[in-house]
Amino acid sequence: MRSGHRQAAASTGQHYERHPVSCDIEGDVYSGHYWVAGMILVVSTATGGTSRQLAGQPPAVLARTLLREFILARRDNPAALSGQG
């Protein structure tokens, strides 16, 4: 899957620097990566991802918030983990 991402980025001439991000929820640490594409911040994990407009927030702060919201939403909706929700 990574090579496909590299090919897409290469064909458009764009390369996004990925940064690690993690959050602690009730003693469990969750991690992923984030990058900024224009004014959009993208957070990616092994189980999916999410994005949001930066809106003047520091990328690392917004990435941590988005990761936390993403993980909590997936935990609250177990069907989403299997792709059925």
**Residue range 18-76, pLDDT digits in tens:** 999 999 999 999 999 999 999 999 999 999 999 999 988 899 999 999 999 999 999 88
Residue 80: the pLDDT is 58
pTM, whole model, 2 decimals? 0.74
Residue 12: the pLDDT is 55
Q: Of 30, 33, 31, 29, which is closest to residue 59 (Cα–Cα)?
A: 33
Give the DSSP H/E element, type plus range, for residue 5: helix 2-12
CA distance linking residue 35 with residue 44, whole number of Å: 9
Residue 6: the pLDDT is 42
Q: Of 23, 5, 13, which is closest to residue 66 (Cα–Cα)?
A: 23
Q: Which residue has the higher pLDDT, 17 or 13?
A: 17
- Say if residues 21 and 32 touch (Cβ distance below 8 Å): yes
CA distance linking residue 30 with residue 34, whole number of Å: 13
